Structure 1
Amino acid sequence: MLTGILLISWLCSLPVISGDIWMDTTPIKQRVKAGETTVLGCTVENLEGGKVMWFGPGNDLLFNGDSAVTPDRRFSLTHPYPSSWNLVIKHVKIGDGGEYRCEILYPTTYTKRITLDVQVSPRIFPSKSSGDQQVKEGSNLTITCVATGFPLPVIMWHLVKGDVKTQLGTGSLLTISNVSRYDTGIYRCTAFNGVTPSATRDIKVDVEYAPTITVNTQELSQERGKRAVLECSVEGFPQGTYYWIKDGRVLERNWNYEPQNIQQNSTSLVMNLLIKQAESPSGFGVYYCVAENELGNATGNVTLHEITTTTTTTTIAPTTTSTPAPTTTSTSTESTVQSTKPFISSTQSTSSQRPDISTMHSKNPTTPKLSTVTPQVTSSYNKPVVTSGPGYEINSGDQANSSAQVTSPCRAIFILVVTILFLF
C-alpha cells in the first residue's frame, strides 16, 4: 500500500507535457574552463510531431530542429540516443557564458534552462600593474597588481629575498610606509581563482641609501718587505666611487699598490687593498677606505703595524787546552815519565816484552877499582860480560842478582825513546 502511494507520488512529480511526450525541464548550472569543450544536455521522449529548438545567450536562435541557424561552426547538435538533443560547444570562449534554452513548441512550449559559467584562469594586466621601483629610504611606496579571470581572482603579495618568502597581504594595492633599506627585494603578486594556472608578477624594489662601511680587522701587523691585504665591506645603493687614502693622498694602482673592488650583489661590495711590499716608514700606518654615492659617503680605517725583529748575538770565547810538555826525571836508579791530553783519560798497561827501567840499575853498586887488565867475566848464563871502559872492574860474584851497567849516554837515549812511545 505504502509502496504504491510512493510510486504514484513520484510519477506525478515527473515533468509531463501532454500525452506521451516527456521532457526533463530541471534547470541546471554548468561550468567549463575556457578553451575546452562542453556538452549541454536536453532529453525529450516521444517527441512525435514536435520540434526542439536551442537558444543561446541574448535569445539568439542556434538550432531549429536539426537545422543550424548560427554560423559559428563551434556549435553542433548530437543525438547519442534517440531522445537526446545535446548542444556541443567546442573551444569555449569567455563570451560563450550565459543562459541556454532547449525548448519544445508542440503543442505547448516547455523549456530546459542551462546556465553556462565559463571559468577563466587569472591573467595580470602588465599595463595596469606597477613595474620595477627605485625609491629613497624613508619615503612611502605603493605598488599595484591588476588581474582578471573568472571567477574574479584573489591577489596575494609576498616579499622574496633569495630562498626566503614572506607573506605581506592581499589586494590589488600594496603600500609600504617609511621604506628602509631592508625593504629591498622582489615583491611578487599572485592571482588565483581555483582555475589553473594561477598568474604571478614580480616587481623589483630598490631602496636608495648612503653607503656604510664595516671593517672586520682594523689592525694588522707585517714585517718589512712583505705583502699585506687590507679589507673594508661596503653596503649602499646605488653604486658609487670607492678609493683608498694614505697620508692625505689617494692611492692609485702602481707597482706596489693594487686596489680591488669585489661586487657581492646589487648593494654589497668588498674593498681590498693589496700592498705588495710594505716598506718603512711610508708603508706602515693608517689607511682609509672611502665609499661615496649620490646620497652620501662613509669612511673606514685600517692600521698596518710593522713587526720589528730584535737579533741578539752572543759571542762565546774559544776554550784552549794546552798539553804541558812531558817531564822527565832521571836518577841513577830509576826514571819517571808524566803526560797529559785534553778530555782523554788513558791507562797505560805494562808489557812483558818492554824492559823495566827500574831493573836496569843495581841496588848496591860495587865501587870500581882501577886495573890495567880488562877482566872477562862469565855470567850464570855462560855468556861473557865485557866492560866498556878502562879502569873498571866487574865483580864476578853472583850475577843472577845484579844487572848490567849501562853507560850514562845510553840511558838517556833509552829514556827518550820510552817517553816518545808513551806519548803516542
Structure 2
Amino acid sequence: MYHPACWIVFTATTALLFIPGIPTRAGERATAPPKLDRHTSRQGQQALLRCTVDDRVTRVAWLNRSTILYAGNDKWSIDNRVVILSNTKTQYSIKIHNVDVYDEGPYTCSVQTDNHPKTSRVHLIVQVPPQIVNISSDITVNEGSSVTLMCLAFGRPEPTVTWRHLSGKGQGFVSEDEYLEITGITREQSGEYECSAVNDVAVPDVRKVKVTVNYPPYISNAKNTGASVGQKGILQCEASAVPVAEFQWFKEDTRLANGLEGVRIESKGRLSTLTFFNVSEKDYGNYTCVATNKLGNTNASIILYVHVHKIGAARSHGEDVSEDEIDIAPSGHAQPGGGGQQARRSRAHGCLGERGRAGKCAAIWLCGAEAVGREEAPGELQASLEPGLRRGPAPGEHALRLHGAGFSWVLCWQDYRQLQGG
C-alpha cells in the first residue's frame, strides 16, 4: 500500500510526462497522448475544471503543470482563488475565481485506480477583452506637415486596430494598423480620428485623438453692398482660418476705428461687419477688409454703392432679358446681381425729357449687360439718347439706342438722383 506523500510525488512526476511534446501515458502501453479538452474563460470570470471518476478510484489530485493544487480534499496551492468544488464518487472538480492570463495552460487530473494511475487533461484558455493601452495625445500642426498617430492595444486573441477619420461627411475609413501616417496634411484632414480595437471577446475599445491643422486666412465671402443716403448700410467680410483671423478695415489707406464717424466694427469668429448707421455721400466708395493670423494675411475689396430702383429694361440681340436686380455705383457703372463670365457696362450720354418730350432734362439712363454662358468676349455695349424724339409708350423706350452684339441680357435704369435737376 502506497504512502500518501509518496503517491503525490509519484503523481506529480507522472503528470510531467503528459506535458505537450511527450507522447507517454502512465499505466498504458499505447504511445498516444491522453485526450486534451479545452476550456475557455474570460479574464475576471471563473473557470470550472471537472474530472469524472468512479468508485474504483482510491486517490485523486489536480495539478497545474508540475504544481499540485489539490490532493483529495487537501489544498496544496497557496492561491486563495483556487477552491475545491466537489469530491464525490463520480466527480472531482475545482474552481478558479477571477482568472487571469497567467492561469492559462494545461491542468491535469490524476487518479489512482487499482494501483494503476490514470490522468485526464484540460487546457484552460483565458480570453482578454480588447484594451487600448497607449494612444497619441491631441496634436496641433501646420498645414503641409506630416503626422503620425499611434494606437497600441492588448487582448487575447490579439485585437485588430482600425483608424477612422470622423469628418463632417461621416466616418471615413483610413487604415487598419496601429500607426496612422499622414503626409502633407491638409485643412480638410483636421478633426477627430477614432482608434478602435476589436477581438470579438467584448465590445470594442474606442479612443479618439483630435488633430488641429493651422492654415492662413482666406476670405470666403465679401460682397459689394448698396445703401441709400440716410439709411443703414452693412459691409460683411467672412474669412476662414486656424487660428481664427483678426480683422481690420481700411478706406483707401486709412484704417477705420470702431465708433468713429458713425461706423461700428464687430468681429466674431470668422465674420466681421462694418456698419454705417446713417449713410452719407462721403461713405460711398471702396473699402478693404484685411484678415490676419500667425501664418499669414489676406484682403478683399468691398464697395459700398448707391442703391437705386429699376424702372425699365431693353432686350439685346442675345437670349431673354434677365430680371436680376442691378444697382448703380457712384462711378455710374451698373452692378448686376446675377453672375456671368463676361460683362460690359456703359453709361448713356445725354438726358431724356419727361414722358418722351424733348426739352427739360429729367433723368439719365444707365445700362448693364452680361454674356452669360458665352466663351467669346462680347462687343462693347454703347448706349445713347436721342432727346429730339417726342413720343413713346414709356419714357426712354424708343429714345434709348443700344449698339453691340453677343450679349445674353441688357438692363437699363434711370438714376433718380438726376430727377431733381433742371
The answer, yes or no, to whether TM exceeds 0.5 is yes
Task: Give the TM-score category using the shorter length.
Answer: 0.5 to 0.7
Which of 138, 148, 156 lines up with 2:154 in the alignment? 148
Larger Rg: 1
Pairwise CA distance, 1:157: 0.7
Counterpart residue type for residue 284 of structure 1: Y
Which structure carries more strand by proportion?
A: 2
- TM-score, normalised via structure 2 length: 0.63
1:34 aligned to which of 23, 38, 43: 43
Cα distance in 2 between the residues matched to 1:80 and 1:216? 87
Q: Is the 8 A contact 1:31 1:119 kept in 2?
A: yes
1:298 aligns with 2:298: yes
- Any residues of structure 2 matched to 1:194-273 within 5 Å, and which? 194-217=200-223, 219-254=224-259, 256-263=262-269, 269-273=270-274
Q: 1:78 to 1:180 in 2, by over 3 A?
A: same
Question: Does 2:91 align with 1:91?
Answer: no
Shift of 1:261: 2.2
The amino acid that maps onto 1:40 is L
Shift of 1:101: 1.1
Q: Which amino acid aligns with 1:69?
A: W
Moved >4 Å (runs of 4+): 15-18, 311-314
Q: CA RMSD in A?
A: 2.5
Task: Give me the whole-angstrom Cα distance separating, in 2, the residues matched to 1:160 and 1:37.
Answer: 39
Larger deviation, residues 302-311 vs 235-244: 302-311
Asked if the contact 1:215/1:301 (under 8 Å) is kept, the reply is: no
Give CA-to-partner distance per residue, 1:140-182, whole Å, 9 cap, x none.
Answer: 2111110111111110010002461001111111111121111
Percentage of pairs with the same residue: 26
Please report the TM-score for the alignment, with normalisation by the length of structure 1. 0.62
Unpaired segments ≥5 residues, structure 1: 1-14, 19-24, 264-268, 315-424
2-side partners of 1:68 and 1:162: how far apart?
A: 62
Q: Give distance in 2, aligned partners of 1:313 and 1:201.
A: 72
Indicate which of 60, 65, 73 corresponds to 2:72: 65
* Contact residue 145 and residue 172 of structure 1 kept, 8 A: yes
Match of 2:278 in 1: 277
Q: State the Cα distance separating 1:122 from its structure 2 match.
A: 1.0
1:82-138 deviations in Å (ceiling 9; x for gaps) = 311111111222222111111124523322111111111111123xx2111222222
> d(CA) in 2 for partners of 1:26 and 1:77?
23
CA distance in 2, matches of 1:258, 1:313: 32
Change (3 A) 1:227 1:101: same
Residue of 166, 173, 176 corresponding to 1:170:
176
**Within 5 Å, which residues of 2 pair with 1:12-411?**
26-49=35-58, 51-57=59-65, 59-79=66-86, 82-106=89-113, 107-126=115-134, 129-162=135-168, 164-217=170-223, 219-254=224-259, 256-263=262-269, 269-281=270-282, 283-307=283-307, 309-310=416-417, 312=419
Which amino acid in structure 2 is aligned with residue 87 of structure 1?
I
- Quick check: which one's helix share is greater? 1
1:307, CA displacement in angstroms? 3.5
Q: How far apart, CA to CA, are the structure 2 residues paired with 1:163 and 1:56?
A: 55
Q: Give, in whole Å, the separation in 1 of the partners of 2:131 and 2:189.
A: 27
Runs of at least 5 residues in structure 2 that lack an aligned partner in the other structure: 1-24, 29-33, 309-415
Equivalent residue of 2:417, what SS? coil
Q: Conserved in 2, the CA contact under 8 Å of 1:159 and 1:188?
A: yes
Count, aligned residues = 284
Task: Give the residue type in structure 2 aligned to 1:26.
Answer: K
